[in-house]
Amino acid sequence: MEPVMKGKVCMITGANSGIGKRAALQFAEIGATVVMVCRSRERGEAALAEIKEKSGSESVELMLCDLSLQESIRTLVKDFKENHDHLNVLINNAANFDYTLRNPVLTEEGIEVIFATNHLGPFLLTNLFLDVLKKSAPSRIINIASKGLITYPMLTIEFDNLNGEKKFSYQHAYYHSKLAQIMFTYELARRLKGTGVTVNCIRVTNVKIDLERVSHVPRYLQYVYRIKRFFGITPEEMAKTYIYLGTAPELEDVTGKYFDEHGKEVKSSKRSYDEAVWKQLWDVSEELTKMV
């Protein structure tokens, strides 16, 4: 039987570790041409070699990009389009959850780094790829949110605090950016209706993270993450949901939905369904990414 993804191209950001790395491996195993987008050349090349060895596939490649920087994203898209004429699955997996931040850090483009990486990066990347995604239809976009948003039921987009001007904590900044990804998903699905391009969002649950990823944080936080490992699912298990949303025939026409770690459709917070905020977030994101 021919592999289900043979001849199809899947791009995964943040593919050198964690869920992204496992998803890249699993897509390679079912025949996809996998484009791994990573910030670090060293870590990216190590993950690339491992995935090629384990999957037995040579159709895996590495592209470098810092998703907090818009010029880096524009370069990535330009380079991709020079070498590929289609893109079937785009997974916006990369995220910044920097436990060490106590104050806002701005990128060289003047945007708070967590919001830049987790929302504006995927917003710009996705929009710059829409021409290729439409050409490749049926195609799929998958955005990533967090189950931790359950603890922020009243959270909405704080347009007067996007750079942490009024208040800041890394937790709040992270969940704020993930709420933005949910609302971006809903608005993009509305805009793409009838194009053959679907966009859905996955609510990632507590996952056993690679402990080397938190080796730089205070010891008490390392201890917390060691404890959390006992209650989390493995990155391999979580990656299976990425595969499901990226390949399941029954989801070909499903768009604008929110899925849990088991691939079951769930509801996001009540405030995330405010269509006026979807539109305002889109307009602000366009301005901040210089797309208007």
Per-residue pLDDT tens over the stretch 148-187: 999 999 999 999 999 999 999 999 999 999 999 999 999 9
37-51, 217-231, 250-264: the lowest-pLDDT one = 217-231
Residue type at position 124: L
Per-residue pLDDT for 15 more than 80? yes
Token reading at 105: 């850090």
Higher per-residue confidence, 210 vs 248: 248
> Under a CB-based contact definition with an 8 Å cutoff, are residues 128 and 49 in contact?
no
Q: Which residues contact 162 (CB under 8 A, 6 or more apart)?
A: 111, 112, 115, 284, 288
Pairing of strands 265-266, 258-259: antiparallel
pLDDT of residue 292: 74
Residue 188 pLDDT more than 80?
yes
Give the predicted TM-score (pTM) of the model.
0.94
How do the domains of the chain map onto residue ranges?
A: 9-288
* Tokens read off for 16: 């050198």
Band (287; pLDDT cuts 50, 70, 90): very high
Q: Which of 211, 217, 227 is nearest to 170 (CA)?
A: 217
| CATH placement of domain 9-288 | 3.40.50.720
As a whole-number percent, the residues of the chain with pLDDT over 70 amount to: 91
- The predicted pLDDT at position 120 comes to 99
pLDDT of the residue at 207: 81
* C-alpha of 255 from chain center: 16
pLDDT at residue number 158: 98
Q: Is there a catalytic annotation at residue 223?
A: no
Distances (CA, A) of 67 to 77, 116, 117, 209, 226: 12, 7, 5, 21, 28
Structure tokens belonging to residue 208: 């056993």
pLDDT digits (tens, 9 = 90+) for 211-241: 565 565 566 555 555 665 656 799 999 999 9
> Is residue 253 a contact partner of residue 198, using CB atoms and an 8 Å limit?
yes
How buried is residue 26: exposed, middle or buried, by Cβ count under 10 Å (0-12/13-18/19+)?
Answer: buried
Whole-number Å distance between alpha carbons of 93 and 71: 19
Contact 119, 73 (CB under 8 A): no
Pairing of strands 139-146, 258-259: unpaired
Please report which helix (H) or strand (E) contains residue 132, including its range.
helix 121-135
Distance CA(278)–CA(273), nearest Å, equals 8
Q: What is the pLDDT of residue 173?
A: 98
- Annotated catalytic residue, options 99, 152, 170, 174: 174
What gap in Å lies between CA 21 and CA 88, rounded to an integer?
Answer: 18
